[in-house]
Amino acid sequence: MSQFSLEGVFNEYLKTDPIFFNKQALTISYTPSNIPHRERQIKQLGIILATALRGERPSNSFIYGSTGTGKTLVTQHVCNALEEKSKQLNKNLKILYVNCKMKRVSDTEYRLLAYLCEINKLEVPKTGLATEQIYKYFFDSISNYDGVLIIILDEIDELVSKVGDTILYNLTRINQDFKKCKLSIIGISNNLSFSNEMDARVKSSLSEEELIFPPYNAVQLTDILKHRAEISINKGRIEDGVIEKCSALSAQEHGDARRALDLLRVAGELAERKNKNKITEEDVDVAQSKIDRDRINDAIKTQPKQSKLILYTIISYFEKDDDENQNLLTGDVYDKYISLCKKIKQKYITQRRLSDIISELDMLGIINAKIISKGRYGRTREISLAIPLSTAFRIKKSINQDLEI
DNA sequence: AGTCCACAGGAAGGGCAGGCGA
DNA sequence: TCGCCTGCCCTTCCTGTGGACT
């Protein structure tokens, strides 16, 4: 067996001329000192929250905008500044930030409250208590707090779709029940039509102020990327057109700045690994497919066994390149899925459940499931793959290894 | 205009795993 | 260990629906 030397790998790496000098600046966790093209929103939110500096309750606000439009960044930026200022003025201000999408942290009423307790420095069990009890703990913890409390609920649409709006209703009641604590809620949502899904009372008390974050266009994205590249990538290491390409690709995807930053970062990493002098447009292309692949792989890894089996069934169907070109319908998937389960001696689920799983796979962007009506022959979903065949085959292979089909 | 197909998808609840306090 | 709680995955039962067919 040939002995390969890690020492060699490390030395080789250290010999290369690094492309980045501060890669952190190209990640979402980085908060830049200035946020281009969001001046209006920063000012608007600043005006709303400034009332906290006089010890008054800021209006509840709702922030809308699709992914990567700077909602979270702007909110955190304004809140940080507010916190700083309130310290100078010796005012009581507490800001609790929760990302409602984080699995196992805040995707249920109980977990959200437990998390709020936790970041409010109150220890509660992660599970085991009645939800009422956890409400009591949280309310007790803030009932005597004399000051302004701002709760930021990021991805609030996820929360409401999973657990309903009861929790929001209960939170908005705090101001009536407690005299000292002045609570303001900032809801951040990717879904523009989301507020229509809420109870009218919750909606009216939550949306006292509304801010809209429009998607960035390609020119604005270029601007943002140039600014970030300056503080993260060594001079002269980006080929002309790379930043523009990242911007253009991301502008197509609803003006998502996060995506643009990821593209540039991953392209840089790829170029660095190949020991290239400059990041090229070709690296951006490779980065694009790598990001898609990683996203899908991560999504599939966390899926339950039955989801994997169903996805396996669907991919197997498209693998056969017979010229029938027939559409795959829910009923077909179910039949094929049942025979697969019988073949490998697995328990199988009902069609009702399968229907839900197909919806989930659709939402994950792995398949397209369009509802169609075939008139006399019923109403069903037409299923196709939303990912390249090559990626699908790779996924199938990994499910195969995982489940030993 | 009415029928009927093949589902979609809502509602309610079961069973199990896992965590907690007593 | 037991009882209680939540989360997750699932089933059962049900109503709703778009459009080809009669």
- Residues A195, A155, single domain; the answer is yes
Cα A242 to the center of its chain, rounded Å: 25
Whether A72 is covered by a domain: the verdict is: yes
In whole angstroms, give the CA distance from residue A395 to residue A405.
Answer: 13
CB A73 within 8 A of CB A67: no
- Domain termination residue (choose one: A171, A190, A212): A212
Question: Has residue A66 been placed in a domain?
Answer: yes
The helix (H) or strand (E) run that includes residue A290 is helix A281-301
Query: What's the CATH code of the domain at A96?
Result: 3.40.50.300
Nucleotide nearest to A132 (CA to C1'): C5
Bases of chain B below 7 A from a protein C-beta are 3-11, 18-21
Report the pLDDT value the prediction gives residue A71, as an integer from 0 to 100: 93
My answer on whether A153 and A234 are in the same domain is no
* Among A95, A102, A98, CA closest to A113: A98
- One domain for residues A223 and A284: yes
Which CATH number characterizes residue A311's domain? 1.10.10.10
Residue A186 lies in a domain: yes
Which of A297, A318, A345 lies at the terminal end of a domain, its last residue? A297
Is strand B less than 7 A from the beta carbon of A179? no
Nearest to A246 by CA among A270, A266, A231, A271: A266
- How many Å apart are CA A364 and CA A94, to the nearest integer? 35
- According to the model, what pLDDT value does residue A206 have? 77
Which CA distances in Å does A32 have to A13, A36, A70, A363? 29, 10, 11, 31
Where does a domain end: A195, A212, A229? A212
| Residue A79 shares a structural domain with residue A112 | yes
The set of strand C positions with any atom below 7 Å of a protein CB reads 3-14, 16-21
pLDDT score for A115? 78
Indicate if A49 and A174 belong to the same structural domain.
yes
Please indicate, yes or no, if residue A20 is contained in any of the structural domains. Answer: no
A89 and A230 assigned to the same domain: no
Domains held by chain A: number: 3
Chain A, 362-381: which CBs lie within 7 Å of strand B? 369, 371, 374-381
Cβ atoms within 10 Å of A233's Cβ, excluding its own: 24
Count other C-beta atoms under 10 Å from residue A284's C-beta: 25
pLDDT at position A86 is 94
Tens-digit pLDDT string for chain A (405 aa): 456 678 888 887 787 778 888 889 898 888 888 899 999 999 999 999 999 999 899 999 989 888 889 999 999 999 999 999 999 999 989 898 888 776 555 566 777 777 777 777 777 766 666 677 777 777 877 777 888 999 998 888 777 766 667 777 778 777 777 778 888 999 998 876 666 666 667 777 777 888 989 999 999 999 999 999 999 998 888 999 999 999 999 998 778 999 999 999 999 999 988 888 899 999 999 999 888 888 888 888 888 889 999 999 999 999 876 645 568 999 999 999 999 999 998 899 999 999 999 998 998 889 999 999 998 999 999 999 988 888 899 899 988 888 877
Do A57 and A176 lie in one domain? The reply is: yes
Statement to judge: residues A246 and A351 lie in one domain: no
Task: Return the pLDDT at A1.
Answer: 46
Residues A75 and A49 in one domain: yes
Q: What's the CA gap between A79 and A39, in Å, rounded? A: 15
Instruction: Flag residues 336-365 of A with CB < 7 Å from strand B.
Output: 351-352, 355, 358-359
pLDDT of amino acid A225: 93
Q: Which amino acid is residue A28, in one-letter code?
A: I
Kindly report whether the global pTM for this prediction surpasses the value 0.85. Answer: no
Q: Is the CB of A330 under 7 A from strand B?
A: yes
Domain, as residue range, for A362: 303-403
Residue A22 lies in a domain: no
Residue A119 maps to a domain: yes
Tell whether A114 is covered by a domain: yes
- Cα dihedral sign, A110-A112-A116-A121: positive
Residues A95 and A205 in one domain: yes
Nucleotide with minimal C1' distance from the CA of A334 is B7
- Closest nucleotide to residue A127 (Cα to C1')? B19
Strand B within 7 A of A27 CB: no
Do A136 and A274 share a domain, yes or no?
no
Residue nearest C13 (alpha carbon to C1')? A352
Residues A328 and A279 reside in one and the same domain:
no
Q: Closest nucleotide to A372's CA, by C1' atom?
A: C18
Cβ atoms of A26 and A265 closer than 8 Å: yes
